[in-house]
Amino acid sequence: MKNARIAIIGLIMLLGACGSSSTFVASKDGRGYYLGNSKSAAYEMFCQSGDLKKILADTSLAQEMREELYQYNCGADRSNDKVRKLYASMTADQRKDLRRAFKRNGYDVNYIQC
């Protein structure tokens, strides 16, 4: 029963992400958010935990791109629109590198082409 609820919640989150995001959903410890989500819970999970800094350091992305991704997700001027635009400007290899870095750092990644 618990697994069924988790699956349903995950499906709802993924379907909701398509309406508002063109990035991906990263989940850990039963919680998941799309990259660029402006909710405080997403901020806590990615930013306050220090996870996003570790994840970005684990990529081969250019320093400027890593800094922009961090700033747009965790800085004072957080912007899901800027995250989506930056993600859309990335090459397929850069996107794959970022998703793999999330996975290497303990996240499940669900990529949906919306």
Task: Name the domain count of the chain.
Answer: 1
Q: Comparing C-alpha atoms, which of 103, 104, 97, 111 is closest to residue 34?
A: 111
In which band, very low, low, confident or very high, does the pLDDT at 14 lie, cut at 50, 70 and 90? very low
In the chain the beta strands, taken as DSSP E runs, fall at: 25-28, 31-34, 108-110
Provide the domain limits for residue 90.
2-110
In which band, very low, low, confident or very high, does the pLDDT at 38 lie, cut at 50, 70 and 90? confident
Instruction: Say if residue 21's pLDDT is above 50.
Output: no
What mean pLDDT is predicted for residues 46-58? 97
Tell me if 29 sits within 8 A of 40, measured CB to CB. Answer: no
User: Which strands, in side-by-side order, build the sheet including 25-28?
Assistant: 31-34, 25-28, 108-110
- 0.85 surpassed by pTM: no
C-alpha distances in Å from residue 89, one per residue of 34, 41, 53, 84, 86: 17, 26, 20, 9, 5
In which band, very low, low, confident or very high, does the pLDDT at 5 lie, cut at 50, 70 and 90? low
